[in-house]
């Protein structure tokens, strides 16, 4: 059986959007896929040693609010100071209660399974990011490097 390949571009840096790349990659790796993720723009936040990702209800009509809060102050309420940390805390607690893996754990599992993590060099320069802030064993490269793998992939996702 020829090894299948999964290529992912991860562009988002919020808590909720951090999950899909790591869940899909670790699962695919467990199924024997060869996997590469190209992290660009806000997706680079997912490569930081210390993950401090947030989730916000602001401008997100799909986000469930606790205690029916959205009925009382639909839009303005989500802009209240501190609302973002409250929602981030609640989301993290819910995930832990439901046995959803932590992001660091999933990321480690990906690395253990040889999922290749590639940081977009251009974005690193653009935002003056320091590679010392990123986890070890990642590669720095450009879009051409991504296409080298993506062009041969069986599944290619933009997240």
Stretch that binds another protein, among 53-61, 93-101, 127-135, 144-152 (CB under 8 A): 93-101
44 phi, psi to nearest 5 deg: -65, -25
Assess 144 for contact with another protein (CB under 8 A).
Answer: no
Instruction: Give the one residue of 83, 100, 135, 143 binding another protein; rule: CB under 8 A.
Output: 100
Tokens of 66: 């606790």
Please report whether residue 1 would count as binding another protein according to CB under 8 A: yes
Instruction: Report, in Å, the least distance between residue 146 CB and another protein.
Output: 24
Q: Are 33 and 5 in contact (CB under 8 A)?
A: yes
- From the list 50-58, 96-104, 120-128, 129-137, the region that binds another protein by CB under 8 A is 96-104
Q: In the stretch 10-49, what mask flags binding to another protein with x, by CB under 8 A?
A: -------------x--xx--xxx-----------------
> Burial code of 24-58, b = ≥16 C-beta within 10 A, e = fewer?
bbbbbbeeebbbbbbbbbbbbbbbeeebebbbbbe
**101 binds another protein, rule: CB under 8 A:** yes
What burial class does residue 136 get, using C-beta atoms within 10 Å of its C-beta: 0-12 exposed, 13-18 middle, 19+ buried? exposed
């Amino acid at each position: 059986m020829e090894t299948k390949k999964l290529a992912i571009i991860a562009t988002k840096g919020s808590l909720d959007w951090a999950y899909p790349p790591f869940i899909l990659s670790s699962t695919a790796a467990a199924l024997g896929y060869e996997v590469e993720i190209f992290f660009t723009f806000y997706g680079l936040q997912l490569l930081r040693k210390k993950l401090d990702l947030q989730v916000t209800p602001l401008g997100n009509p799909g986000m469930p609010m606790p205690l029916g809060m959205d009925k009382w102050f639909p839009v303005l309420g989500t802009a209240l100071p501190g609302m973002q940390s409250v929602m981030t805390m609640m989301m993290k607690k819910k995930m832990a209660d439901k046995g959803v893996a932590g992001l660091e754990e999933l990321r480690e599992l990906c690395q253990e399974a040889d999922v290749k993590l590639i940081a977009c060099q251009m974005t690193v320069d653009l935002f003056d990011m320091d590679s010392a802030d990123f986890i070890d064993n990642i590669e720095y490269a450009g879009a051409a490097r991504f296409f080298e793998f993506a062009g041969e992939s069986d599944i290619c996702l933009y997240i």
